[in-house]
Structure 1
Amino acid sequence: MARATAHIGTTNFATTIKVGERTIISDEPTALGGLDAGPAPYDLLLAALGACTAITLRMYAQRKEWNLTAVDIELHHASQDKRSHITRSIKLSGDLSEEQRARIAEIAERTPVTLTLKNGADIATTVEG
C-alpha cells in the first residue's frame, strides 16, 4: 500500500508532497505560471513508471542470476484525441542472450505501475471544509 499527502498554499504552483519521511516538491514550469521548483505532475508520473520498470527488471534479473549490469529508460508523455500516450524505451546493458532480452521486455510490460496505468485506477474523492 502506498500513501502520500500533497499541500499547496498561495505560491503558484509549488506543491509539497510527503511520502513517508521524504518530501518532494512538484511545480509547473514558469511558462505555465509556476516557479519551476520541481518536477511537474506528469514528470512525476513518468518518473514513477521509469523507477518501477527499472527496479522490477533489476529484481527479475537478480532472481534469475542474469548478467544485467544496467537499465536505462527514456519516457515521453503526450496527449492526443483526449487520450494519454506514453512511450518507453529501455536500454539493457550486460551479457544477455536474445532470449533473456526478450523475457525482460515481457516483464517490462507487467510491472506494477505499468499494469496500473494500462488498466486504469478507480479514484474515490471526498471534499472537506
Structure 2
Amino acid sequence: MSIKLSKSDLGKFRQLLQVDQHELIADARLDPDSDGGPNPHDLYDAALAACKAITLLMYAEKAGIPLEDVQITIDRDSSEERSGKYHLQVGLSLKGKLDSNQLDRLEKVAAKCPVHKLMTTVETTITTTCEAIQG
C-alpha cells in the first residue's frame, strides 16, 4: 500500500493525500482564514479514534455483544511534545444494552486496537529517500 501526496492548488500549505482510491486533505491550519483541512497531528489522532471504533465494533459482533454504536472523543495535550511527551485523552461512548462486564471487556479491547499498539509499543523506523524533480 502506498500513500501519495501532492500539493493542492488551493492554499499555501494544503496537501492532497491519495490512499488507494480515497482522497484526503491535510493543511497546516496556521490561519483560520485558510483552514483547508485537518493538520497532520489531527490525522494521527483521528487514526486512533477510527481504529478503536472499528476494533470495538468488530469485536462486539464476533463476541455477540449488543454494541450498536461507538462515539469517541480525543483530546490532545501536545504542550510537552518537544520534550518527548504527547498525551491523548480518549473518551469512549458506547451505545447498546451493555452490562458492566461487557463494558469492561470493551474498554480493554479498545486499548488493544492496532493503532494504539503502534503508538505505544512498536518501534517505528522511517527511511526517507530524496530526488530532485526538474520543471
Same fold (TM over 0.5): yes
Equivalent position SS for 1:66 = coil
2:59 is the counterpart of 1:57: no
Displaced runs of 4+ in structure 1, greater than 6 A?
none
Which residue of 1 is the match for residue 126 of structure 2? 123
Q: Report the more deviating stretch, 22-31 or 104-113.
A: 22-31
Q: Is the Cα contact below 8 Å between 1:71 and 1:93 reproduced in 2?
A: yes
Aligned pairs, number: 127
Q: Is the Cα contact below 8 Å between 1:13 and 1:35 reproduced in 2?
A: no
TM-score in terms of structure 1 length: 0.89
Which residue of 2 is the match for residue 22 of structure 1? 22
Identical-residue share of aligned pairs (%): 31
Q: Residue 9 of structure 1: CA displacement?
A: 6.0
Distance 2:78 2:38 in 1: 18
Which residue of 2 is the match for residue 105 of structure 1? 107
Which residue of 2 is the match for residue 40 of structure 1? 39
Q: Is the Cα contact below 8 Å between 2:66 and 2:97 reproduced in 1?
A: yes
In the alignment, residue 31 of structure 2 is paired with which amino acid?
A
Q: Residue 67 of structure 1: CA displacement?
A: 0.7
Distance 2:31 2:117 in 1: 33
Distance 1:19 1:26 in 2: 13
Alignment of 1:58-97 (within 5 A): 58-81=57-80, 82=83, 83-97=85-99
Q: Is the Cα contact below 8 Å between 1:73 and 1:88 reproduced in 2?
A: yes
The structure richer in strand per residue is: 1
RMSD, aligned α-carbons: 1.8
Distance 1:109 1:84 in 2: 17
TM-score in terms of structure 2 length: 0.85
Distance 2:129 2:8 in 1: 19
